[in-house]
Amino acid sequence: MKKSSIFGLVVIAIAIAVIISVYSNTSTYGSFTEARQTESELHVVGKLNKQKVLYYDATKDANYFSFYMQDDKGSECKVVFTGTKPEDFEKSEQIVLTGKMIGNEFHASNILMKCPSKYTQNKLETQEFKAKPASI
């Protein structure tokens, strides 16, 4: 075999190994029930339970934030995030957590929030004030 053929095969093998390693480390979406059954990281989508207490005390521990969230399947769980409380967290419409269950708590390593759009009000106003068609 030529050296260029061997080099090409090595490059292809490395590319395949990189692709496999990237796809094996991706976490999947699930619920709190599924998170209890697995030890790998999951993405859990849900809404903040505003009736229960949010705990964040920056003077005691600025890297501890806990709250209760209900996932899309209706299961509720206490969530612990080791980081600062995100700004406007209470206003979020939807939350996506990345993390895993430890005991009865979901320990989140990342929080993504879907906040209400500031453009929704303008969109509604433009729909309300549509021009009437001219009569002939």
Residue 118 to residues 23, 51, 80, 121, 124, Cα–Cα distance (Å): 36, 25, 29, 7, 11
Tokens standing for residue 45: 């989508």
Q: What is the pTM of this model?
A: 0.66
Dump strand ranges (E) for the chain. Answer: 28-30, 42-48, 55-56, 65-71, 76-81, 94-102, 105-114
**What mean pLDDT value characterizes the chain?**
81
Tally of CA atoms within 13 A in the half-sphere of 81 that contains its CB: 23
Assign domain 28-117 to its CATH superfamily.
Nucleic acid-binding proteins (2.40.50.140)
* Residue-by-residue pLDDT tens, the chain, 136 positions: 788 888 888 889 898 887 777 665 555 888 898 889 988 888 999 999 989 999 999 889 888 999 999 999 989 999 999 888 888 888 888 999 999 999 999 999 999 988 776 655 554 443 333 333 444 5
Residues β-bridged to residue 110: 98
